């Protein structure tokens, strides 16, 4: 029982971490909380729905195609709505409000195209129960956990070990100097939005395959939980998002077992509020959220 709760929590937590890194990456580079990210996640789930259910191509093509389209959506959001604001040197609050607006535009488009009702999504990685000694593990959860972990490691390698990752860190630490090093800063920002969108697409597909439903405003609560996770870990810090995601996932799992399903969504916000009061920088953070 205890093991099951922990494992439920870790699985959810890894998926929240995948969404949270999207907030973190964009915040790191633009000092902007991208509130459209939850809707981007929902968009990713709907692309996977089209590929896996309508076209019956299977889950792996669904993942890949969703990554590409959702990544491109991320780039478009920046190019169409945020870049013009940057170039006009608008106040940060303008960009923040824009991302909220973009969020509703995406959600409404999804409603128009797919309808607002919940749609069935196939269970993914369903290979039954895996037994490890006395412990039995649900294969869907195990694979969700492993795929998320793999992707988070992959992202970390990109950021820490590759040339484009070096450029991302340079833009994050000093955009002016990054320009002077010959880095095409707009390209790096686009790439960052692509990575954020791609991670959200993966998270959206995995969660859809876990709960087996997809609906246009599925990103609202998931987005806010992941945002809490990002803030908890210290927004802008990648491993902070992972730890934050795990804490939010575990708390949610325990709250559901001990207090009932009604408390599922409340925990993340209790955590968010506590963090903002006690340690606004988050556990590992260097920057405060107040910069917007």
Q: Which residues bind another protein (CB under 8 A)?
A: 163, 166-167, 169-170, 173-174, 176-185
d(C-alpha 155, C-alpha 235), whole Å: 16
Whole-number Cα distances in Å, 277 to 156, 232, 236, 280, 286: 29, 11, 19, 6, 16
| Calpha distance 280→273 (Å, rounded) | 9
**In this complex, which beta carbon is closest to another protein, that of residue 87 or of residue 134?**
87
Nearer to another protein, 15 or 167 (CB): 167
- State the nearest-atom distance from the C-beta of 183 to another protein, in Å: 6
Task: State which residue, 197 or 236, has the beta carbon closest to another protein.
Answer: 236
* Residue 288 beta carbon to another protein: minimum distance, rounded to whole angstroms: 17
**Rounded CA gap, 211 and 272, in Å?**
24
CB-wise, 167 or 255, nearer to another protein? Answer: 167
Least distance CB 140 / another protein (angstroms): 39
Which two structure tokens, joined as six digits, stand for 279? 């340690």
Other beta carbons within 10 angstroms of residue 119's beta carbon come to 17
User: Do 28 and 236 touch, CB atoms closer than 8 A?
Assistant: yes
Closest CA to 24 of 167, 159, 220: 159
Q: Which is nearer to another protein, 136 or 173 (CB)?
A: 173
Let me know: does 147 contact 195? Beta carbons within 8 Å.
Answer: no
Instruction: Report, in Å, the least distance between residue 240 CB and another protein.
Output: 14
Helix ranges, the chain (H): 2-30, 37-49, 59-76, 83-87, 92-114, 139-161, 163-173, 175-180, 185-211, 218-233, 238-259, 266-278
In the complex, least distance from residue 186 CB atom to another protein, rounded to whole angstroms:
8
Question: What is the smallest separation between the CB atom of 88 and another protein, expressed in angstroms?
Answer: 12
Q: Which is nearer to another protein, 25 or 47 (CB)?
A: 25
Tokens read off for 175: 């955009």
**E-assigned strands of 123-265?**
129-132, 135-138, 213-214
User: Least CB distance from residue 23 to another protein, whole Å?
Assistant: 20
**How far apart, in whole angstroms, are the C-alpha atoms of residue 125 and residue 140?**
5
Q: Which is nearer to another protein, 168 or 242 (CB)?
A: 168
């Amino acid at each position: 029982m205890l093991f099951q709760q922990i494992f439920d929590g870790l699985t959810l937590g890894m998926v929240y971490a995948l969404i949270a890194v999207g907030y973190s990456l964009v915040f790191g580079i633009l000092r902007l909380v991208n509130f459209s990210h939850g809707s981007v996640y929902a968009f990713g789930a709907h692309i996977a729905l089209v590929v896996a259910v309508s076209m019956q191509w299977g889950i792996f093509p669904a993942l890949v195609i969703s990554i590409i389209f959702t990544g491109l959506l991320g780039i478009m959001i920046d190019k169409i709505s945020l870049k013009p604001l940057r170039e006009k040197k608008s106040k940060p609050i303008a960009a923040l409000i824009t991302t909220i607006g973009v969020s509703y535009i995406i959600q409404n488009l999804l409603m128009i195209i797919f309808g607002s009702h919940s749609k069935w999504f196939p269970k993914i990685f369903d290979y039954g129960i895996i037994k490890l000694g006395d412990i039995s593990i649900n294969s869907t959860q195990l694979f969700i956990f492993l795929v998320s972990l793999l992707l988070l490691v992959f992202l970390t390698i990109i950021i820490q070990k590759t040339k484009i990752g070096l450029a991302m860190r340079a833009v994050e630490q000093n955009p002016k100097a990054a320009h002077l090093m010959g880095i095409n800063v707009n390209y790096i920002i686009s790439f960052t939005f692509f990575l954020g969108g791609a991670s959200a697409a993966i998270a959206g597909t995995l969660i859809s395959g876990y709960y087996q439903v997809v609906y246009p405003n599925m990103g609202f609560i998931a987005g806010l939980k992941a945002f809490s996770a990002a803030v908890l870990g210290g927004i802008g810090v990648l491993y902070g998002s992972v730890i934050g995601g795990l804490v939010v996932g575990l708390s949610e799992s325990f709250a559901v077992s001990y207090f009932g399903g009604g408390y599922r969504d409340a925990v993340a916000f209790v955590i968010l509020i506590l963090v903002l009061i006690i340690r606004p920088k988050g556990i590992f953070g260097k920057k405060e959220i107040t910069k917007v």
